[in-house]
Structures are given as structure tokens and as C-alpha cells.
Amino acid sequence: MSEPFIRVRELHQRFGDNHVLKGLNLDIHRGETLVLLGGSGAGKSVLLKHLPGLMCPAEGTVTVDGTEISCLNERELGPIRRKVGIMFQGGALFDFMSVGDNVAFPLRESGVTDEEEIGKRVTAALAIVKLDGQESKMPADLSGGMRKRVALARAVVDRPACVLYDEPHAGLDPVTADTIDHMIKCLQEDHGMTNVVVTHEMRSVFHIADRVIFLKDGKIHWEGTAKELRDTSDPELRAFVNGDSGIPWKTPG
């Protein structure tokens, strides 16, 4: 097997007395869709923030495409972050910017100044998420699902090798959530992108996941395929999948 695109080793993170990640080890393989599950406070979103260097480990290392990023400064992290796009929970669009300017933002931040090139790449990114010709609209004019799709276009406009998704289905109806799932799989299958998805939507897990990680108490409690998750005999996982575990898992970790 080839070297993983992202490698996490003995990762610890603490916030005061709260030890959120406890020596976590994880390989994320090129071209796969990996889903992170777990109850509230299990460390899912905290782990996700370490992968592009948005958070520095208390201990341990994160390696992206062969480069260990844990000790890099903001300038040194720039090339790494162009390889790893992020779709934030809620979309995190700039309400004062048009759709086109929102999607173009990462390009301008990374130093692209050719407006013709920016326009072409924005058009291509919006085409991927089926929002052709929507550049001039403002976020306030969009539905929740369309805002998520604009956020996804922004995440892929700089042609990353990997996209991280923090609760991409939050607040969406099942039909719109299915649209997001379809786009995640298209990015994987048509563009070879690696996807890492934090979600609580079990229906989506079975649609998109090649591999599933279940976090508990800051460590990996279980790992397997979506089918293995469906068939598991682990009582905690079965309760989690069935939604009657008593774990407040609808709250992001």
C-alpha cells in the first residue's frame, strides 16, 4: 500500500484539564472517503482541525503528503493548506461578498492575481457543485443547501488533494443532504480527491464512507467499512447507529 496522504501519530490535545485527544493514531489514504463518528466531546472536530494545521498538537505529529506540519509557522503552512480544502460547519460564507468572490477568496489569499484565471477557476468550481452562473448572487439570496454547495466550491477551487468536511449535512433536509453526498462521491470518483467527513447523519455514512472511524474518549474505539459498521456486534456502536444510545451525538465533537 502507498504512503498515506495524512498520517497522525500519538496525537494529544488538551484544553486546560480537558484531555480531548489521547495518543490518537490514524492513516488517511489517498482517494478514500473516511467518515469520523463519535459522541459529543469525542474529539472529532478537534482532530479535523489538526489535519491542515489549524491547531497545533500538545504532543504528537501530523504529516501531510510527506511533510510533518506540527511545528510549521503560518507562512510555511500555506503550501500545505492549498492541498487540503475545508468545508466548515454552516458554510462560513462572507455575507458581504458575492458567491463569486466567496469562492475566489482562497485563490486571492494564496496570491493569485490574474483575474481571468480566477474567473475560470471559480466558474469550474461552481460547475462541480451545479451552481453554474450564480457568481453574482449574494449568500442571503441562497437556500441553506445552496450555501453549503458554495462552501464546497470554495473548498475545492484551489484544486486540493483532500477536502475536510465538518458536519456538511447539518440543518439540511434529506433530499439536500443526498445532493451533498453525491457531490462528495463525485469529487472522489471523478477528481481523485480524498475526503474526510465529520457527520452525525448515519444515512449519509452508509452512502459515502469507504472507511469509518468511531472515536471515544479521545481514541479510536472502532474502525471498519460502512458494511462492517452496519453488521457490528459491538453494543455501543449498534446503539449509536440505531440512535438510541443516550449519547448526545447530534452535537458536533
| Helical (H) or strand (E) element with 48 | helix 44-50
Domain 1-83+161-253 matching CATH 3.30.420.10: the answer reads no
Report the pLDDT value the prediction gives residue 248, as an integer from 0 to 100. 42
Residue 106: how many other CB atoms lie within 10 Å: 21
Instruction: Give me the pLDDT at residue 213, please.
Output: 95
Backbone phi, then psi, for 121, in 5-degree steps? -75, -35
Domain boundaries, the chain: 1-83+161-253, 93-159
pLDDT digit of tens for each residue in the chain (253 aa)?
Answer: 568 999 999 999 999 888 999 999 999 999 999 999 988 778 898 999 999 999 999 999 999 999 999 878 888 888 888 899 888 776 678 889 999 999 999 888 878 888 999 999 999 999 888 888 888 999 888 888 888 889 888 988 888 999 999 988 888 888 888 888 988 998 899 889 999 999 988 889 999 999 999 999 889 999 999 999 988 888 888 888 887 444 443 333 4
Determine contact, residues 47/22, Cβ cutoff 8 Å.
no
Instruction: Give percent of the chain with pLDDT exceeding 90.
Output: 43
Chain segment 48-95, per-residue pLDDT in tens: 999 999 999 999 999 999 999 987 888 888 888 889 988 877 667 888
Edge to edge, what strands does the sheet with 6-15 contain? 18-28, 6-15, 59-64, 67-68
Q: Is 85 exposed, middle or buried (0-12, 13-18, 19+ CB in 10 A)?
A: buried
